[in-house]
Amino acid sequence: MNQRALLMVLGLSFLVMGCSSQPKNINNVCSMFDENYDWYEAASDVQKKWGVPIHVTMAFIHQESKFVSDAKPPRSTFLWIFPGPRPSSAYGYAQALDETWDHYISKTKNYGADRDDFDDAVDFIGWYNYTSHKRNGISKWNAKHLYLAYHEGHGGYSRRTYNKKKWLLKVSDKVQRRASQYLRQYKTCKADLDRGWFSRTFL
């Protein structure tokens, strides 16, 4: 392959990698990372920076947005027909609220971070779960309880407000199962992913 052709392939590959469309198979973490290798790099950076495992971070995004970059809570309806307001300001991959996102930026100095940017969203999840670990003593591998703190806030988690919400407990169990599934899958493809994007693509 001559130099010009290689540069064209690289350019097209980066263009595809930059797309924010939902992955084809959101139930398989290896498939998602194969389709979006930059997501693997971002999730790996989060693990190194905040100590939150890749499979936990990805399970959070599956639950919150199904990997849709501009996801928002569905609107309520007025008179069963007309669209009403949304129940919250949650937005993006991590479904972060306006005020929580602003707090994240203030604490991390990650100015310019966007909720519909995957790298920023996973960093937010890593930061929040790291804070849950520090404030609430939750293991960074415990997806269930990290999610309860994510949903209820650190104060709410300390007060165990989640015990009054059976539906939330079911959802947190679902997140734990998803994280366990992703971990099993990740173990089968980690070695290949760690070869790097260039080696996997051209060698």
pLDDT, residue 173, reads: 98
Return the CATH number at 120: 1.10.530.10
- The domain total for the chain is 1
pTM as predicted: 0.83
Please give the Cα distance from 69 to 117 (Å, whole number): 7
Ranges of the chain whose pLDDT falls below 70: 1-20, 73-88, 197-203
What residues form DSSP beta bridges with 94? none
Is residue 113 within 8 A of residue 104, CB to CB? The reply is yes
> Tokens at residue 145, please?
């309880």
pLDDT, residue 21, reads: 79
For 128-149, letters b (16+ CB in 10 Å) and e give bbbbbbeeeebebebbbbbbbb
pLDDT, residue 88, reads: 62
What residues form DSSP beta bridges with 91? 96
Distance of CA 3 to the CA centre of its chain: 36
Percent of the chain that is helix, strand, coil (3-state, to 5): 65, 5, 30
Identify the CA nearest to 143 among candidates 125, 164, 118, 158.
125
The backbone torsions φ and ψ at residue 172, rounded to the nearest 5 degrees and listed phi first, read: -65, -35
> Tokens at residue 47, please?
């693990």
Give the single-character DSSP code of 24: S
pLDDT, residue 5, reads: 42
User: Which residue type occupies 30?
Assistant: C
pLDDT, residue 2, reads: 47
Domain that holds residue 87: 3-202
pLDDT, residue 89, reads: 78
